[in-house]
Amino acid sequence: MIKRLLKKYKYPPEEAENALETVIHQCEQWTDNDSDNYNSLLNETRKYDFHNETYPPMAADERVEYYTPKNNNKNTLL
């Protein structure tokens, strides 16, 4: 897969071997990370309360009339 990506983006062939080794090394380091090192809060569900009395609930903006061309051609996209 890495070789295909290098070829797709026209990576110089003389640098392809070095790029391949670098990507493999980075992937190995990434997968070696222990999940205990991450904050346990990332896996917890959080509930947010967005009830605020100062703003009324709105699903969309108020209706407005937009400019329409004078020729009223039905095939014209706005």
pLDDT in tens, the chain (78 residues): 777 887 887 878 888 888 888 888 888 887 766 555 555 556 666 666 666 666 566 666 677 777 766 666 555 555
Tokens of 6: 């290098």
User: Using CA atoms, how far apart are residues 78 and 61, in angstroms rounded to an integer?
Assistant: 19
Query: How many domains is the chain built from?
Result: 1
Burial of 78 (0-12, 13-18, 19+ CB in 10 A): exposed
pLDDT the model gives residue 18: 86
Is 8 within a domain?
yes
Is 14 within a domain?
yes
Is 11 within a domain?
yes
Domain that holds residue 9: 1-29
Contact 35, 14 (CB under 8 A): no
Is 16 within a domain?
yes
